[in-house]
Amino acid sequence: MANDLLTSDHDFQEFLDAHLGQELLRFTTAGSVDDGKSTLIGRLLHDTKSVYEDQLAAVKKSRVNRAANGHVDFSLLTDGLKAEREQGITIDVAYRYFSTSRRKFIIADTPGHEQYTRNMATGASTADVAIVLIDAKAYLREGKLLPQSRRHTYIASLLGIPHVVAAVNKMDIVGYSQETFAAIRAEFVEFAAELGLKSVTAIPVSALEGDNVVTPSSTMTWYDGPTLLEFLETVPLRTDEQSGPLRFPVQLVLRPDASFRGFAGQVARGVLRAGQKVMALPSRRETTVSRIVTWDGDLAVAAYPQSVTVELEDEIDLSRGEMLVATPEGDDSNLPTASRRIRAMVVWMHEDPLIIGRTYIAKHTTRTVRATVKAIRYRVDVGNLDHSPAQQLAMNEIAEVELETNLPLFFDSYVESRPTGSVILIDSLSNATVGAAMITGAGESLTETDGRIPAFIHLPDRAALAERLREQLEAHGHRAAVIDDELIPDGSLVAVIRALALAGVTAISARTLTAGDVASLTGAIEGFATSGVLSGQDISDERILELAGDRQ
């Protein structure tokens, strides 16, 4: 008896270990209204034996049943809101979990209505696969893909979902016609190619009858591809984040006692190794990884998306919102872009519109900054993908927007890396999330320099030039302030310049300082600002203004 119990415990532990070690695939479903998204997911859950008996019994007894001919209305398994069941539509994102012997899955059933575009963007933001349902009957009626199907495919491409599946539903209503499926597949593949989607698959299904959802269809013998479940179980998961250059945003500095100082965070991209040479941004100070610490012990290697604590060999100034990257070898091509000006595709999620000139809170990796909308480059008509000018962005609209932050961000484009290429915008008064942004690149350069304006510019006895320089820098988008107020003594300059530097503001002074004071000031500033000090003592007025972008 005891041996049987031990064996049972051992088998159960093996089962748990095998389950925990399974790959996790996240996928989202979207499509036009009444395409059968919720029914498809309900069928998938039912046929994989992922529905409890009491749930199924409750669905069978429900007074709301839109399935004909005695079929079970599987949409009720996912449409949980009362309004959803009454109207027969999906309103909010519904998450469901199930597993097979091959993989674990998280499903995001997203709404199809245009007014809920923001909900789809939320549900699809972490997906590995997007399933776009296409109603075969509606296609025959319209003679083309519906605008909502095109819109959802566009959003899938915008969010960088690596695999897109066109699940052509209601094949039973069109008599399981091979010609209809071929026409839909051809138009969808052509549209996907225009969007730059690389992995596109079309599968004919009937969610109501169960054809090609979990088991192969006995009536569509002309189709020799995988069922929907077989595709989900075998599609390769993306590994781009692990193969890219190292990105480790610091989330928290841990110092439990005087003998340990660690930097906690999640590996956002690439691989981190003990003994690896790393560089801290923005200071560009170089050091070596001493240990990679976790609750379960030290690691030799940590990769995306592991959360670890890093101990460094040297005591360097590093805090939340800053980043560790691999020390560049020869050039800076593997470093993230560092800029206060970014271009991003924004999905607007709030009733109050996005307006040029308004300032929001932006969260990027672990860094929180203020971001001002400088321009709306164009708004996208997701129905036909046309670009049009705009002065504001209403809820559920999408546009490319240029933002300026008070501190530089260290980012990759969203196409290269989701974790380091995504930004959320927050209203500073209500603390509501108002927009989701996918970075496309750095904003236009404001000067012909590399954009790194000194933290402090000293122009002794040239007050007029100092004021003109401040105006010139601000005209080119750089924030600057003259600090020659009589209430700021010479002994407080370092503290004032540091405070301004943290806010992304260049300090300018025309006060007279001794050579010793200048040297001491320069040394102190270089300790916290890599852009350092520019002394204009031996530089002409014209050259000073030229460095600020004035070419007149």
Q: 452 pLDDT exceeds 90?
A: no
86 and 164, same structural domain?
yes
220 and 105, same structural domain?
yes
Structural domain ending residue among the three candidates 180, 215, 234:
234
Residue 517 is predicted with a pLDDT of: 81
Q: How confident is the model at residue 548 (pLDDT cuts 50, 70, 90)?
A: low
75 and 51, same structural domain?
yes
Q: How confident is the model at residue 234 (pLDDT cuts 50, 70, 90)?
A: very high
76 and 180, same structural domain?
yes
Domain of residue 492 covers 456-547
The CATH number linked to 283 is 2.40.30.10
Lowest-pLDDT range, 10-14, 202-206, 485-489? 10-14
The rounded distance, in Å, linking the Cα atoms of 113 and 116 is: 5
Beta-carbon contacts of residue 344 (< 8 Å; ≥ 6 apart): 400, 401, 403, 414, 423, 437, 438, 439, 440
489 and 435, same structural domain?
no
376 and 473, same structural domain?
no
Summarised one tens digit per residue, pLDDT across range 68-96 is 555 666 666 665 433 444 444 444 567 88
Q: Is residue 415 part of a domain?
A: yes
Structural domain ending residue among the three candidates 297, 326, 355:
326
% the chain with pLDDT above 70: 82
Q: How many domains does the chain have?
A: 4
341 and 297, same structural domain?
no
**Mean predicted lDDT score pLDDT of the chain:** 84
Residue 504 is predicted with a pLDDT of: 76
Give yes or no for a contact between 251 and 366, defined as CB atoms under 8 angstroms apart.
yes
Structural domain ending residue among the three candidates 191, 217, 234:
234
471 and 322, same structural domain?
no
Q: Is residue 552 part of a domain?
A: no
Residue 501 is predicted with a pLDDT of: 81
Q: What number is the average pLDDT over the span 187-196? A: 92
Residue 41 is predicted with a pLDDT of: 86
348 and 489, same structural domain?
no
Q: 3 pLDDT exceeds 60?
A: no
Summarised one tens digit per residue, pLDDT across range 20-29 is 668 899 999 8
Give yes or no for a contact between 480 and 447, defined as CB atoms under 8 angstroms apart.
no
Q: What number is the average pLDDT over the span 216-243? A: 88
Lowest-pLDDT range, 374-388, 405-419, 527-541? 527-541
User: For residue 104, with 0-12 CB atoms within 10 Å meaning exposed, 13-18 middle and 19 or more buried, which class applies?
Assistant: middle
Q: 253 pLDDT exceeds 90?
A: yes
168 and 81, same structural domain?
yes
Q: What number is the average pLDDT over the span 297-309? A: 94
Residue 65 is predicted with a pLDDT of: 54
Q: Quote the tokens at residue 469.
A: 């320089």
DSSP letters for 206-223: BTTTTBTTTB--SS-TT-
Q: What number is the average pLDDT over the span 363-367? A: 96
Residue 448 is predicted with a pLDDT of: 36
Summarised one tens digit per residue, pLDDT across range 393-434 is 998 899 999 999 988 999 999 989 999 999 999 999 999 999
Q: Is residue 383 part of a domain?
A: yes
Q: Is residue 447 part of a domain?
A: no
Q: Is residue 528 part of a domain?
A: yes
Q: Is residue 125 part of a domain?
A: yes
218 and 247, same structural domain?
no
Residue 171 is predicted with a pLDDT of: 95
Q: What number is the average pLDDT over the span 329-336? A: 84
Q: Is residue 381 part of a domain?
A: yes
Residue 52 is predicted with a pLDDT of: 65
Q: Is residue 1 part of a domain?
A: no
Backbone torsions φ then ψ of 41, nearest 5 degrees: -65, -40
Q: 114 pLDDT exceeds 80?
A: no
Beta-carbon contacts of residue 372 (< 8 Å; ≥ 6 apart): 357, 358, 359, 360, 403, 404, 405
101 and 156, same structural domain?
yes
Q: What number is the average pLDDT over the span 438-453? A: 65
Q: Quote the tokens at residue 129.
A: 């696969």
